Each structure stands twice: as structure tokens, then as C-alpha cells.
């Protein structure tokens, strides 16, 4: 299982193991990571699982879909070049060590 690290806006790190094929959002929810609200449960209907992907990993992810891009326009925190919705980041072995920074606010 790939290990991913969620970094809170206060710098606290929460490392979790997430099975291949499961979204980073689902992994956060299953492991009680604070800062991921996921109001829509991963159906790509909100933007409350917004994360900033660490620069070392952004090129390893597929490009966001048009729907994800539209939803990213609705995030509550500052949108950055590395902004993604964690429900759309599906874990693969290549994402071992993935680091996701959490914004100060989700909704």
C-alpha cells in the first residue's frame, strides 16, 4: 500500500497507508485526517477535499478533467498551480510518499 502524507496548514503531518486504486480523499476519511471535509463523498460535486500537491509529485498525476477544473474554481482557499481535488487522486504504486498539503479552509 502506498504511504501518503497529509500536511496540515499548521505543518503537522499525518502519514497514512492507502490501498492502490483508492482515492487520497477516501484514505484521508478512513484515517481521520482533519482538513478533508469531502461533503459529496467523492462524487466530484463539491470542492471540500481540495489539496495542494507537493511539487515533487504533480507531474506523476494525470491532468485534471474538465469537471475537476470547474470544481477547482469553487475552492474556498487560494487556488494554486498544484491545486487538486483529493477525490480525483487515485493511488498507484508510483505515488508512494505522495505529499498533500491541506489548505486553511475547505468551505
Q: What is the DSSP string of the chain?
A: --EEEEE-TTS-EEEEE--TTSBHHHHHHHTT-TT---TTTTSSS--TTEEEE-TTTGGGSPPPPHHHHHHHTT-SSPP-TTEEEGGG-B--GGGTT-EEEPPS---
Q: Within 10 Å of residue 69's Cβ, how many Cβ atoms?
A: 12
CATH of domain 3-101: 3.10.20.30
Q: For the chain, what is the mean pLDDT?
A: 96
Q: What does the pLDDT read at residue 107?
A: 80
Q: Which percentage of the chain shows pLDDT scores above 90?
A: 99
Mind listing the pLDDT tens digit for each residue in 16-63?
Answer: 999 999 999 999 999 999 999 999 999 999 999 999 999 999 999 999
Q: What is the DSSP letter of 60?
A: G
Q: What does the pLDDT read at residue 44?
A: 93
Q: Which percentage of the chain shows pLDDT scores above 70?
A: 100
The mean pLDDT value for 79-83 works out to: 97
What's the rounded Cα separation, in Å, for the pair 27 and 36? 10
Amino acid at each position: 500500500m502506498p504511504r501518503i502524507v497529509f500536511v496540515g496548514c499548521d505543518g503537522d503531518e499525518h502519514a497514512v497507508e492507502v490501498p492502490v486504486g483508492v482515492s487520497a480523499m477516501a484514505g484521508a476519511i478512513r484515517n481521520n485526517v482533519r482538513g478533508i471535509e469531502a461533503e459529496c463523498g467523492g462524487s466530484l460535486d463539491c470542492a471540500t477535499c481540495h489539496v495542494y500537491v507537493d511539487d515533487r509529485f504533480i507531474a506523476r498525476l494525470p491532468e485534471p478533467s474538465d469537471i475537476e477544473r470547474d470544481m477547482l474554481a469553487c475552492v474556498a482557499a487560494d487556488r494554486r498551480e498544484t491545486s487538486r481535488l483529493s477525490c480525483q487522486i487515485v493511488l498507484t504504486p508510483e505515488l508512494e510518499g505522495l505529499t498533500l498539503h491541506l489548505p486553511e479552509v475547505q468551505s
